[in-house]
Structure 1
Amino acid sequence: MRIGMGPLEDRFVRLEPFEDGLKAEVRAALDCDPDAWEIMVAPAYGDHFETWWNAAMAAMKAQTRIAYAVRRRSDGAVVGTTSLYEINPAYRRCEIGSTFYRPEARGGAINPACKRLLLGHAFDAGAVRVEIITDDVNAQSQAAILKLGAKAEGVLRKHKITWTGRARDTAMFAVIDDDWPSVRDGLDRRLAAFD
């Protein structure tokens, strides 16, 4: 499995791998809705942004993560970020996460479009498993992941420590290569409804 680092796009979004020229736009997209960051593992707004950005860039250099700016095609605005991360070529697996969208970009075509592109990119590169995880207290995120077609696999107790010091239980979901054709078709039908 070798996942390329280029941009990905469809009619709704363009996913642009992080580079220095995107930094200000990404910061502006994430520097909102501080309450949403309270349950995240690591914050990326305000004074936290620089540390978060540097960690993302280091992981990209190590080829364990591809962090993307999410650019909305309708107006060209960067409305958030998402990543392929925990990339493990030996096991042919990775995760989708570190996803955050501005409030006005939630609930429409942006998230399913991003997930369609990321899942397709991973499986086209030879992945056999793509995980999507979220905080067990985040019912809205879990519902969105299930709506994508990922399968619930259980809860990992005290799996991560958040930036606020809380021991987080993690809800685990995955799409495997056997699932991908039906998941892809479901996402394509869902996105067609936005045309």
Structure 2
Amino acid sequence: MDSWLRPVQLEGELVKLVPLQKSQKVDLVFAASDGKLWELWYTSVPSPKTIDSYLDIALSDQEKGKALPFAIINKKTNTIIGSTRFLNVDAKNKRVEIGATWYAKKAQRTGINTESKYLMLKYAFENLNCIAVEFRTHFHNHPSRNAILRLGAKQDGILRNHRVDEFGNFRDTVVFSILNSEWKTVKTSLEYKMGKSYLG
């Protein structure tokens, strides 16, 4: 694995991001079953049928240095509530994408996503010295697009007919990014938002 991106645990007030492991299989399916997230046609969330291949692909990409997947743990309940990862790793050009993110329905719109992304962005810019961090999402995934914009990312463009999904549908992919020159301002904004949420 590329030594630039090694397994790491990231911890905040609300969540812990721990390296994804096969031993988390049952807990991941339980989290995804809250809202039956795998039924969303425009996103890829593991179901009881797909969890094994989901883990195999994530861990294989990690071994190849192409990704670093995490399980997201709610510190209050000490339970897994979702998953996220660094992917499309480009060590030479110091770029990563944050994606493949999903949360149990009960964890959505709770401040958990903001803190998770903050921890990953902070690590990417301040430990890995990234020059840019990318986010990509399905054109039709409006909740995800809005969440990415709320983080402070800017839209780079739309890759039209970027992929073909399992049903034969063409996927337009919306690309966003945050640059290292923007991180200080984005960090201040995220810390302000998180401070408000911690205060209730």
Structure 2, gaps ≥5 residues long: none
Matched with 1:189 is 192
Give runs of ≥4 in structure 1 deviating > 4 Å: none
Matched with 1:158 is 161
2:9 to 7, 11, 17: 7
Aligned length: 194
The alignment yields a C-alpha RMSD, in angstroms, of 1.5
Within a 5 Å distance, the mapping from 1:143-154 to structure 2 comes to: 143-154=146-157
Matched with 2:96 is 94
Matched with 1:63 is 65
Aligned-pair CA distance for 1:34: 4.1
CA distance in 2, matches of 1:62, 1:26: 23
Within a 5 Å distance, the mapping from 1:102-121 to structure 2 comes to: 102-121=104-123
Matched with 1:22 is 24
2:62–2:69 CA contact under 8 A, matched in 1: yes
CA distance in 2, matches of 1:20, 1:155: 34
2:163–2:171 CA contact under 8 A, matched in 1: yes
CA-to-partner distance for each residue in 1:169-193, whole Å, 9 max, x for gaps?
0111000101111111111111001
CA-to-partner distance for each residue in 1:25-59, whole Å, 9 max, x for gaps?
2222223424653112x441120111111000101
Q: TM-score, normalised by structure 1?
A: 0.94
Which residue identity is paired with 1:79? I
1:3–1:122 CA contact under 8 A, matched in 2: no
CA distance in 2, matches of 1:4, 1:185: 27
What is the DSSP-based 3-state SS (H/G/I as helix, E as strand, rest coil) of the residue aligned with 2:181? Answer: coil
Q: TM-score, normalised by structure 2?
A: 0.92
Matched with 2:134 is 131
Change (3 A) 1:53 1:31: farther
Structure 1, gaps ≥5 residues long: none
What is the DSSP-based 3-state SS (H/G/I as helix, E as strand, rest coil) of the residue aligned with 2:8? Answer: coil
